[in-house]
Structure 1
Amino acid sequence: MTALLEAAGLTRTLPGDPPVPLVRGVDLRIEPGRFVAVIGPSGCGKSSLLYLLGLLDRPTAGSLVFDGVDTVPLGGDARARLRLARFGFVFQFHFLLPEFSALENVAIPIRRLGRLSDKAARARALEQLEAMDLADQAHKTPDRMSGGQRQRVAIARALANDPSLVLGDEPTGNLDSVNSARVVEIFRELAHGEGRAVVCVTHDPEVAAAADQRIHMRDGLIEGVD
């Protein structure tokens, strides 16, 4: 299968004396329809790798090709536009805007992309909330929802522009076991049912066990894949 995302020699080093290596010469292929977990001890470079894959950070060296596009030479505006249109992000903290309703939070990236009218953007946002079983929460602000509901709103927001790649950074880190299992179920459906690529950094062994593939990192290197 053709890779959606392919990294070769991907490296990120912080300047200093001495320089601090975060990611060291990573070669990686991410295919559509696969749920991939990135695991390893704290400080091993998992999140640093995820930020590189998600175009949130730039590599010091190496290449990163997304759907045939070499992303490394892209300027900041082009990278931001590509992220907005094709990438979805779910973090440990939901980062919902507290003054906005769930519907308004999900509509934000749709409006930023600018492809839909305001009415169509709201309809699209409601569809995403319905897919998360949250239609009845659409007009509530985050403080009136449970932690699990807020994280599902965050997932709905990540999916608002129909991304090809969904990236999660410890997305179950603040959830109980029931809500963690729900997030895993959603991620598996996004990959297997909808054909998206899903990459998730996690310390949770149950999340890792549910993935199709596990990438083991240590000291900025990939030490194994199973």
Structure 2
Amino acid sequence: MSTLIEAHGLARVLPGDPPVSLVQGIDLAVEPGRFVAVIGPSGCGKSSLLYLLGLLDRPTAGSLMFDGMDTVPMGGDARAALRLARFGFVFQFHFLLPEFTALENILIPIRRLGRLSGGDARTRAMELLRAMELEAQADKTPDRMSGGQRQRVAIARALANDPSLVLGDEPTGNLDSVNSRRVVEIFQALAHEQGRAVICVTHDPDVAAAADRRIHMRDGGIEKVD
């Protein structure tokens, strides 16, 4: 199977005296249809790696290929356009806009990309809410939903533009065990049934156990993969 995202010698070092190494010497390849967990102690570089893979930060060394494209020399606008069209992000905090309803939050990235017209965009957003069993929450603002519902809206928003790669940074960190399991099941379905690549940074052993592969990090590098 061909890889979707592939890193070689990936590193990010912050300038200073002395310089601070966040990530170093990362070699990694993830294929479509795989659910990968990135685990390790706090401060080991997990989120820094995720931000590099998600094109939110730039590496100071190494290469990062996405679907055959070399992302390192890309300008800021090209990186932003690629993120919008092909990447989906789910964070520990849902980051829903509080003044907008669930439906409107999902419509934001759809309208930014501009592939779908008004009616088709709304249909797409409602389909995602229905898939998350949240159709009844469409017209509610985040303050009128539970934590688990808000996180599922955030996942629906991440899927708005049909991304090839879904990146999660502690997506179950603020959820109870029931909603955490639900999020894990969604991530498994995104990979195994829909063929997306899913990479999830987590401290949750249940999330890690559910993944197809676990990348263990320590001191900014990969310690082992199982």
Give the match for residue 141 of structure 1: 141
What is the distance in 1 between the residues matched to 2:41 and 2:152? Answer: 27
Alignment pair present for 1:175 and 2:175: yes
Give the match for residue 9 of structure 1: 9
Give the match for residue 160 of structure 2: 160
TM-score (structure 1 length as normaliser):
1.00
- Give 1:174 shift: 0.1
Alignment pair present for 1:215 and 2:204: no
- Give 1:194 shift: 0.4
Could you tell me which amino acid in structure 2 is paired with residue 133 of structure 1?
E
Q: Which consecutive unaligned segments of at least 5 residues does structure 1 have? A: none
Give the match for residue 69 of structure 2: 69
**Equivalent pairs, count:** 226
What is the distance in 1 between the residues matched to 2:130 and 2:81? Answer: 26
- Give 1:118 shift: 1.6
Give the match for residue 115 of structure 1: 115
- Give 1:119 shift: 1.6
- Give 1:121 shift: 1.0
Q: Which consecutive unaligned segments of at least 5 residues does structure 2 have? A: none
- Give 1:159 shift: 0.2
**For residues 123-142 of structure 1, what are the alpha-carbon distances to aligned partners after superposition, in whole Å with 9 as ceiling and x for unaligned?**
11111100100000000000
What is the distance in 2 between the residues matched to 1:57 and 1:118? Answer: 32
Could you tell me which amino acid in structure 1 is paired with residue 191 of structure 2?
A
What is the distance in 2 between the residues matched to 1:82 and 1:61? Answer: 21
- Give 1:92 shift: 0.1
Give the match for residue 33 of structure 2: 33
What is the distance in 1 between the residues matched to 2:133 and 2:215? Answer: 31
TM-score (structure 2 length as normaliser):
1.00
**For residues 25-80 of structure 1, what are the alpha-carbon distances to aligned partners after superposition, in whole Å with 9 as ceiling and x for unaligned?**
10000110000000000000000000000000000010000000000000000000
Alignment pair present for 1:79 and 2:86: no
What is the distance in 2 between the residues matched to 1:215 and 1:42? Answer: 14
**For residues 71-122 of structure 1, what are the alpha-carbon distances to aligned partners after superposition, in whole Å with 9 as ceiling and x for unaligned?**
0000000000000000000000000000000000001000000111122111
**For residues 191-222 of structure 1, what are the alpha-carbon distances to aligned partners after superposition, in whole Å with 9 as ceiling and x for unaligned?**
00000000000000000000000000000000
Give the match for residue 191 of structure 1: 191
Percent sequence identity over aligned pairs? 83
Could you tell me which amino acid in structure 1 is paired with residue 111 of structure 2?
R
SS state at 2:109 partner: helix
**For residues 168-192 of structure 1, what are the alpha-carbon distances to aligned partners after superposition, in whole Å with 9 as ceiling and x for unaligned?**
0000000000000000000000000
SS state at 2:161 partner: coil
What is the distance in 1 between the residues matched to 2:23 and 2:205? Answer: 23
Give the match for residue 204 of structure 1: 204
Structure 1 residue ranges, 4+ long, deviating more than 4 angstroms after superposition:
none
What is the distance in 2 between the residues matched to 1:163 and 1:8? Answer: 23
Give the match for residue 124 of structure 1: 124
Aligned-residue CA RMSD in angstroms? 0.4
**For residues 153-180 of structure 1, what are the alpha-carbon distances to aligned partners after superposition, in whole Å with 9 as ceiling and x for unaligned?**
0000000000000000000000000000
